[in-house]
């Protein structure tokens, strides 16, 4: 299995390479709060879970040092929040079958709970072509606890038993966890819909809130971009929706500030978790829902919807 290599040698490398320019501190509310830079962070194991893993520091550091990588090394040295690992490892609302399928619609855990109508629509589309779906957690939140988990191995076994050729991801976090780490091809829901000419283009310029996992690489966004007239990267100063890296558990105030930093905006995103954070104060649209002609409003009744997902009937 491939995985992100995180060794404590990296902490030493940061200490050697950092030129103390303080750009990381100026661009990160967590580093600002504790008045530290990434070099100092390497010596603050007590703050491992205060980092939102948003990668803003990486984007501004002149010598390419990475706060998220530091945080993950420190987390692995002292794992925490076992309850998160336990919850996600055997996700109680999961819905998988043993049906054979070439393409597997992998909905993740949050999208089905926040966008139930769009979920139903996508499941029906896949079923029409004889393809199966999966509602499950990719275990990224479990990775963030610093404890080891074996989800990728278990998922590989499941994919092999179901003869899956391609995993089609709806959630950006699942996509970025899987696309370099599975033995089968991993594509976005946008690519899958595009292959069938099922995308309704958006004929206007839109304001986009980029989810952390895709913000600085646009691997998913390149599939979206060709179906919109134009876009504004308007929310650069908000590093994260406030849910990143399970840091909201340690840094409630910073998380709330991030969530409340955008208001009265009409915005587009492609992460259900980001939508759920900003929906209270903004008019939020999810590209996947909009582009299939539903344009569902994010429904914050997570548990009610998740339960419906769990018990949804399916043809084996």
Positions in the binding site for ligand SF4 (CB under 6 A): 18-24, 28, 30-31, 37-39, 51-57, 61-63, 65, 67-68, 71, 239
* Vertex 166 angle, CA 122 and 272, to 5°: 45
Minimum distance, C-beta of residue 213 to ligand SF4, in the bound complex (Å): 12
Residue 106: strand pairing partners: 134, 169
Minimum distance, C-beta of residue 148 to ligand SF4, in the bound complex (Å): 22
Nearer to ligand SF4, 167 or 258 (CB): 258
Minimum distance, C-beta of residue 262 to ligand SF4, in the bound complex (Å): 17
Minimum distance, C-beta of residue 27 to ligand SF4, in the bound complex (Å): 6
Minimum distance, C-beta of residue 184 to ligand SF4, in the bound complex (Å): 30
Which residue has its beta carbon closest to ligand SF4?
67
Residue 185: strand pairing partners: 166
Structure-block tokens of residue 155: 């998922």
CB of 299 within 8 A of CB of 128? no
Nearer to ligand SF4, 65 or 228 (CB): 65
Nearer to ligand SF4, 68 or 187 (CB): 68
Alpha helix (H) ranges present in the chain?
A: 9-17, 23-26, 29-34, 38-41, 56-60, 67-77, 82-89, 110-114, 116-128, 140-144, 151-161, 172-178, 189-195, 212-215, 221-225, 252-260, 272-278, 287-291, 302-311
**What sign does the CA torsion over 183, 189, 191, 192 have?**
positive
């Amino acid at each position: 299995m491939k995985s992100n290599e995180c060794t404590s040698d990296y902490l030493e490398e940061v200490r050697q390479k950092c030129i103390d320019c303080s750009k990381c501190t100026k661009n990160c509310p967590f580093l600002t709060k504790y008045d530290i830079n990434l070099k100092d962070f390497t010596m603050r194991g007590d703050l491992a879970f205060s980092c939102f893993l948003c990668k803003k520091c990486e984007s501004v550091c002149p010598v390419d040092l990475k706060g998220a990588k530091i945080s993950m090394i420190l987390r692995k040295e002292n794992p925490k929040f076992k309850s998160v690992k336990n919850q996600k490892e055997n996700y109680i609302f999961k819905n998988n079958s043993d049906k054979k399928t070439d393409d597997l619609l992998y909905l993740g855990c949050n999208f089905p709970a926040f966008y139930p109508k769009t979920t139903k629509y996508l499941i029906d589309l896949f079923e029409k072509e004889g393809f199966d779906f999966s509602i499950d957690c990719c275990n990224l939140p479990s990775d963030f606890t610093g404890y080891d988990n074996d989800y990728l191995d278990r998922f590989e076994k499941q994919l092999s038993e179901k003869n899956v050729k391609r995993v089609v991801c709806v959630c950006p976090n699942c996509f970025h966890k899987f696309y370099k780490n599975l033995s089968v091809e991993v594509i976005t829901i946008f690519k899958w819909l595009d292959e069938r000419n099922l995308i309704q283009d958006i004929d206007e310029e839109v304001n986009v809130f980029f989810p952390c996992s895709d913000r600085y690489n646009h691997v998913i966004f390149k599939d979206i971009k060709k179906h919109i007239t134009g876009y504004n990267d308007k929310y650069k100063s908000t590093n994260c929706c406030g849910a990143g890296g399970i840091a909201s558990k340690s840094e409630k105030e910073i998380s709330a500030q991030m969530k409340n930093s955008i208001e009265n905006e009409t915005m587009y995103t492609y992460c259900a978790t980001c939508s759920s954070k900003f929906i209270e104060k903004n008019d939020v649209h999810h590209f996947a829902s909009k582009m299939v002609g539903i344009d569902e409003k994010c429904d914050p009744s997570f548990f009610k919807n998740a339960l419906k997902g769990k018990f949804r009937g399916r043809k084996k």
